[in-house]
């Protein structure tokens, strides 16, 4: 049988999709374009309501594939949250499976070939997708999960309800996976977790992320990244490791969510505005070249104009290099979904527009200061519009290059232009490292 995977959502979903592909290949399946696939697998994200709506629209577009006999499987967080309800939403769906059911997918596909819809129930709590074989979508990047699940139960977040409580992988198992990736020629190791900073607390009694990050860096990958951090657990020893190792990228994604300590308490974020600022500004002081990105929710239940002004203040103070902005959307199972929400939608939209305008102004200024500097870019692929390629600098910024390079090439460029969301670079001749070191099968 042939399969096609479409991934929605976060880096952890990308990690899971690569494991799904590896599992199916090991069971004799063959990857194929959607037009020739016998089973179409949609790996979903439920963090935002918009992601769920996108899934519904995409499923409804698959009618022609259903008519030719393809099975449609929905996995990931939406599947874990909705289970049987997905079948009532769309008669096109044949299989529903959550993140803890991935290992069962070959059997679920075989069962669904009998003609009846199949929903996986009671997946193995001790299952870890990282234990499955992997088929990387990008030969040059390895997504390596160091934890699964989350213990924080932020009042707006569905993740603990669909991915379970936090469980850390064994230290040596992670390093063995890093060693294998480096041997395969991978250039960037990306450590993943819902809260990487708390890695090891369940195994060793206290977080061990800084020690793990240093050990991964010493394994020798060209680049090391990680996400996502939780401000409560982000510690000075992590900053020290980033500063000490050249191959640990100077990029920190530190979601603040709100600048108001009152709203942060309602969100159950377990830090104050002042505590967040102390950590963010310490990064700025210790690692001046660091790119700091964040997430911000506008219109959380109970947010006043004064609360929103606190959010604008923290954006002005930290001067984030990238900000992911969202209007609050209630998610099932969460405490915030039951909170009174009296702010009109129009006022939320107005606040959102003010925030995005401020972010655009600051990120443009932060990017323009890099014009004239040389940066190493890891090419990820062609630009979406026009000619050339795009990739990422060590600090996480997107850089476009008006030349043709294969994905995975490392190109040193001089920055010649800047916009609020990306940089423009011109290659510095004779310092291009292409795809040497790639091994077949990556």
pLDDT of residue 121: 81
**Would you say 59 and 65 are in contact if contact means Cβ atoms under 8 Å apart?**
no
Residue 436 — pLDDT band, cuts 50, 70, 90?
very low
Range with the largest mean pLDDT of 125-134, 157-166, 354-363: 354-363
Could you tell me the sign of the dihedral formed by the alpha carbons of 253, 97, 23, 212, in that order? positive
pLDDT of residue 54: 80
3-class DSSP state for residue 258?
Answer: coil
**Would you say 117 and 95 are in contact if contact means Cβ atoms under 8 Å apart?**
yes
- The class level of CATH for 2-119 reads alpha beta
DSSP for 85-127, please give it. HHHHH-TT--EE--GGGGGGHHHHHHHHTTSS-EE--S--TT-
3-class DSSP state for residue 324?
Answer: strand
pLDDT of residue 9: 78
Residue 131 — pLDDT band, cuts 50, 70, 90?
confident
Closest CA to 222 of 188, 250, 251: 188
**Would you say 236 and 210 are in contact if contact means Cβ atoms under 8 Å apart?**
no
Mean pLDDT for the stretch of residues 102-125:
89
| Residue 420, C-beta contacts closer than 8 angstroms, at least 6 positions apart | 359, 360, 361, 363, 364, 367
Mean pLDDT for the stretch of residues 31-44:
97
pLDDT of residue 56: 82
3-state secondary structure 43-64: EECCCCHHHHHHHHHHHHCCHH
Domain at 374-433, CATH from 3.90.76.10, 3.40.50.300, 2.40.50.140, 3.40.50.2300: 2.40.50.140
* Residue 70: both structure tokens together: 């393809």
Common-topology check for domains 2-119 and 374-433? no
State the average pLDDT for the chain: 93
The answer, yes or no, to whether residue 124 has pLDDT greater than 70, is no
Query: Rounded CA gap, 252 and 394, in Å?
Result: 11
Closest CA to 386 of 403, 399, 411: 403
The answer, yes or no, to whether residue 439 has pLDDT greater than 50, is no
The answer, yes or no, to whether residue 309 has pLDDT greater than 90, is yes
- The class level of CATH for 131-368 reads alpha beta
What does DSSP say about strands 423-433 and 398-401: parallel, antiparallel, or unpaired? parallel
Domain ranges of the chain: 2-119, 131-368, 374-433
Query: Rounded CA gap, 26 and 204, in Å?
Result: 34
- pLDDT, one tens digit per residue, over 82-91 is 888 888 888 8
Residue 269 — pLDDT band, cuts 50, 70, 90?
very high
* Predicted model pTM: 0.92
| Residue 236, C-beta contacts closer than 8 angstroms, at least 6 positions apart | 282
Mean pLDDT for the stretch of residues 207-221:
98
Residue 126 — pLDDT band, cuts 50, 70, 90?
confident
| Residue 268, C-beta contacts closer than 8 angstroms, at least 6 positions apart | 152, 153, 154, 155, 335
CA distances, 86 to each of 13, 97, 167 (Å): 19, 11, 28
| Residue 139, C-beta contacts closer than 8 angstroms, at least 6 positions apart | 184, 185, 186, 407, 408, 438, 442
Closest CA to 27 of 144, 108, 93, 148: 108
């Amino acid at each position: 049988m042939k399969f096609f995977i479409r991934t929605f959502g976060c880096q952890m979903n990308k990690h899971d999709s690569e494991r799904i592909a590896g599992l199916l290949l090991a069971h004799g399946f063959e990857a194929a374009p959607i037009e020739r696939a016998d089973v179409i697998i949609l790996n979903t994200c439920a963090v935002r309501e918009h992601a769920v709506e996108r899934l519904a629209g995409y499923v409804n577009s698959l009618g022609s594939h259903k008519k030719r006999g393809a099975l449609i499987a929905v996995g990931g967080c939406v599947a874990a949250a909705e289970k049987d309800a997905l079948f009532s939403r769309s008669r096109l769906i044949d299989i529903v499976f959550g993140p803890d059911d991935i290992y069962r997918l070959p059997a679920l596909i075989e069962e669904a070939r009998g003609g009846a819809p199949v929903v996986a129930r009671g997946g193995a709590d001790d299952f870890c997708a990282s234990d499955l074989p992997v088929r990387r979508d990008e030969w040059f990047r390895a997504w390596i999960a160091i934890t699964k699940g989350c213990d924080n139960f932020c009042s707006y977040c569905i993740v603990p309800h669909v991915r379970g409580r936090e469980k850390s992988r064994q230290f040596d198992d992670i390093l063995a996976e890093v060693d294998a990736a480096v041997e395969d020629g991978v250039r960037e190791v990306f450590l993943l977790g819902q809260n990487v900073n708390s890695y090891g607390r369940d195994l060793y009694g206290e977080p061990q992320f800084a020690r793990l990050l240093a050990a991964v860096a010493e394994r020798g990958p060209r680049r090391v990244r990680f996400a996502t951090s939780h401000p409560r657990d982000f510690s000075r020893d992590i900053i020290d490791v980033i500063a000490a190792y050249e191959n640990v990228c100077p990029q920190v994604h530190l979601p603040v969510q709100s600048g108001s300590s009152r709203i942060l308490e309602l969100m159950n974020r377990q830090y104050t505005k002042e505590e967040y600022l102390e950590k963010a500004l310490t990064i700025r002081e210790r690692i001046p070249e660091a790119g700091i990105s964040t997430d911000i929710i506008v219109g959380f239940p109970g947010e006043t104009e004064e609360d929103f002004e606190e959010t604008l203040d923290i954006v002005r103070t930290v001067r984030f290099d990238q900000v992911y902005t969202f209007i609050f959307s209630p998610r099932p199972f969460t405490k915030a979904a039951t909170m009174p929400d009296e702010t009109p939608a129009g006022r939320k939209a107005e606040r959102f527009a003010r925030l995005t305008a401020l972010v655009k102004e600051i990120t443009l200024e932060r990017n323009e200061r890099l014009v004239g500097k040389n940066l190493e870019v890891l090419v990820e692929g062609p630009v979406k519009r026009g000619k050339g390629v795009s990739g990422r600098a060590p600090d996480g910024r997107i850089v476009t290059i008006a030349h043709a390079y294969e994905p995975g090439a490392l190109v040193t460029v001089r920055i010649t232009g800047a916009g609020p969301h990306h940089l423009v670079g011109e290659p510095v001749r004779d310092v291009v490292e292409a795809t040497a070191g790639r091994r077949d099968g990556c």
